Chain A
Amino acid sequence: MINKIAQSIEAALAGTPDGATVMVGGFGTAGIPGELIEGLLAQGAKNLTVVNNNAGNGEQGMAALLKSGHVRKVICSFPRQADSYIFDNLYRSGQIELELVPQGNLAERIRAAGAGIGGFFTPTGYGTELAKTPSGEPKETRIINGRPYVFELPIHADLALIRAEKGDRWGNLIYRKAARNFGPVMAMAAKKTVASVHEVVALGDMDPEAIVTPGIFVHQVVLIDRVATQGGGFKS
């Protein structure tokens, strides 16, 4: 029998090793698996590389994980937010490494990892500072049909933490509104994907035509209480 429903966040995250690369879903405040991030902090793995669109805001969730000193490096597209002061201070004091990736390249590099693609040529970033590796070497480029492209590598992860709306014991998931964002691609790119859901349903209850992430990409499903997503990260 296949049963991916975890009894607790602690159980779902057990065994996360030091040095792991962890993808964390969410864009702005939507789709952030806050409870799983807290669980990762409590689990205590250190020297982590975190892949996320942003780099935390306020004091909770990702910001708390960064503050703990458990994170060595952040790979993201937009670390600067109205209240991202924890990341800002760590970055300015040289306590955290940043690899900045254009958002579409970030999504596609994650997708590529999940799809078994060894790399791809993208027009995004050609001729810019971000067509260089983090150490400053120019990335490979190629002109294809007269258009210039930059070669980008996939981003693989040991663990993905994502937030979905509903799940079943096979790991099938559906999401809520724009909280879907990076969830489906991150689920594909990690050796182990843990999804938090607000509802666990019986097999067959979700319309098979509407399932967004098929269970093969998901390893653990954790039920958490529904709390309305809070705003933040923008100037009001």
Chain B
Amino acid sequence: MTQYARRDKEALAKRVAQDIADGASVNLGIGMPTLVANYIAKDREVLLHSENGILGMGPAPVSGQEDYDLINAGKQPVTLLPGGAFFHHADSFAMMRGGHLDICVLGAFQVSETGDLANWHTGEPDAIPAVGGAMDLAIGAKQTWVMMDLLTKKGQSKVVKACTYPLTGIACVKRIYTDLCTLECTPKGLKLIDMVEGLERKALSELLGLELH
């Protein structure tokens, strides 16, 4: 059995942040993707977009300075950087759908090897469906990246041949950043970008149950 260490949440956020270029406009999804903002290198100027009408979003306010008219998509208080702007919802989604946003980083339940995304609904009969901006983001940004643990708690790969959960978008994911590896989705299947130290290509392919190109 090969010995390797997973990337923890912070290390994974750092890995994603590494690939965000100076000058990019980026939407970070609710949950783990939000952490990426903490690791964007100081010498890179990145414009953060929030679907509820903010471009140039800043970090969380100091305690006591919360303004609940200035919240992110997760409804948590944020700040606005000098130069930041507010706009209405139709403009905000035009920024995505119109292809103006460079990158969006989302969480996922499953991603297929060709980039189909499932991240909005478990499909369970008693679950209350809620989609928010997930479908617009998935197909709107120039590049959609997924950030997640590779395996479920039961040890099954969340990168799959074909998604079994309800789809968010088809062939929309470009890259998958996980605790074990970074993958690229292509029409032909998965391309390996990197993996954690100690993990080998063959072992990873077995974990995935998929071929790596």
Collect the chain A residues with CB atoms within 8 Å of residue B5's CB: none
The answer on a CB contact under 8 Å between B97 and A123 is yes
- Whether the pair A108, B86 counts as a contact (CB closer than 8 A) is no
A130 at the interface (CB under 8 A from B): yes
Q: Interface code B48-62, partner A: CB below 8 Å = 1, 0 otherwise? A: 001111100000000
**Pairwise interchain contact A232-B128, C-beta atoms closer than 8 A:** no
**Is B74 among interface residues, defined by CB-CB distance under 8 A?**
yes
Closest Cβ neighbor of B52 among chain A residues:
A27
A181 close to B129 (CB less than 8 A): no
CB of B93 within 8 Å of the partner chain: yes
Q: Would you call B176 an interface residue if the criterion is a C-beta within 8 Å of the partner chain's C-beta atoms?
A: no
Is the CB–CB distance between B131 and A178 below 8 Å? no
Residue interface mask A100-111, B partner, CB < 8 A = 1: 111111111011
Q: Which residues from chain A contact B140 at a C-beta distance below 8 Å?
A: 104, 123-124
A177/B90 contact (C-beta < 8 A), A129-B121, A229-B69, A234-B74 known? no
Known: A105-B136, A123-B139. A178 touches B71 (CB 8 A): yes
Contact of A229 with B96 at beta-carbon distance under 8 Å, contacts A79-B128, A92-B126 already known:
no
**A contact residues, range:** 35 or more
- CB <8 Å contact, A124 and B52: no
A181 x B128 contact (CB < 8 A):
no
Known: A103-B93, A231-B66. A124 touches B139 (CB 8 A): yes
Contact B97 A234 (CB under 8 A): no
Q: When the two chains form their complex, are residues B139 and A178 in contact, meaning their CB atoms are under 8 A apart?
A: no
A127-139 interface bits toward B, Cβ cutoff 8 Å, 1 = contact, 0 = none:
1111000000000
Residues from chain B with a CB closer than 8 A to the CB of A130 are 131, 135
Q: Report if A16 contacts B (CB, 8 A).
A: no
Given contacts A27-B52, A234-B74, contact A107 B68 (CB under 8 A): no
> Given A28-B52, A184-B88, are A177 and B69 neighbors across the interface (CB < 8 Å)?
yes
Given A79-B130, A100-B130, are A125 and B53 neighbors across the interface (CB < 8 Å)? no
Whether A233 contacts B131 by the Cβ 8 Å rule is no
A178–B56 Cα gap in the complex (Å)? 12
CB contact between A183 and one of B88, B126, B130 (< 8 Å): that residue? B88
In the complex, whether B166 has a CB less than 8 A from a CB of chain A is: yes
Whether A180 contacts B93 in the complex (CB less than 8 A), given A30-B71, A104-B140, comes out as no
- Give chain B residues whose Cβ lies under 8 Å from the Cβ of A176: 69
The answer to whether A212 has its CB under 8 Å from any CB of chain B is yes
Give residues 160-177 of B contacting A (CB, 8 Å). Answer: 166-170
Which of B13-21, B39-47, B75-83 contacts the other chain?
B75-83
Q: Does B67 contact A (CB under 8 A)?
A: yes
Supposing A102-B136, A103-B51, A128-B168 touch, asked if A185 and B130 sit within 8 A by C-beta, the answer is: no
Chain B residues with CB under 8 Å of A108's CB are 90, 93, 97
Are A177 and B170 neighbours in the complex by a CB distance under 8 Å? Answer: no
CB distance from B161 to the nearest CB of A (A): 17
B155 in the interface (beta carbon within 8 A)? no
Closest to B130 in A: A80
Given contacts A29-B75, A184-B88, A185-B88, contact A230 B68 (CB under 8 A): yes
A69-106: CB near B (< 8 Å → 1, else 0) gives 00000000111110000011001100000101111111
Instruction: Given A28-B52, A107-B90, decide whether A102 and B97 contact each other with a Cβ distance below 8 A.
Output: no
Can you report 22 A-B residue pairs in the complex whose CB atoms are below 8 A from each other?
A27-B52, A30-B69, A31-B69, A77-B133, A78-B131, A78-B132, A100-B130, A104-B89, A108-B90, A123-B97, A124-B139, A124-B140, A127-B169, A129-B167, A130-B131, A177-B67, A177-B70, A178-B86, A185-B89, A228-B68, A231-B77, A234-B74
Listed in ascending order, the chain A residues whose CB lies under 8 Å from chain B are: 27-31, 53, 77-81, 87-88, 91-92, 98, 100-108, 110-111, 122-130, 148, 175-185, 212, 228-234
Which positions in B face A, CB cutoff 8 Å? 50-54, 66-71, 74-77, 80, 86-90, 92-93, 96-97, 121, 126, 128-136, 139-140, 166-170
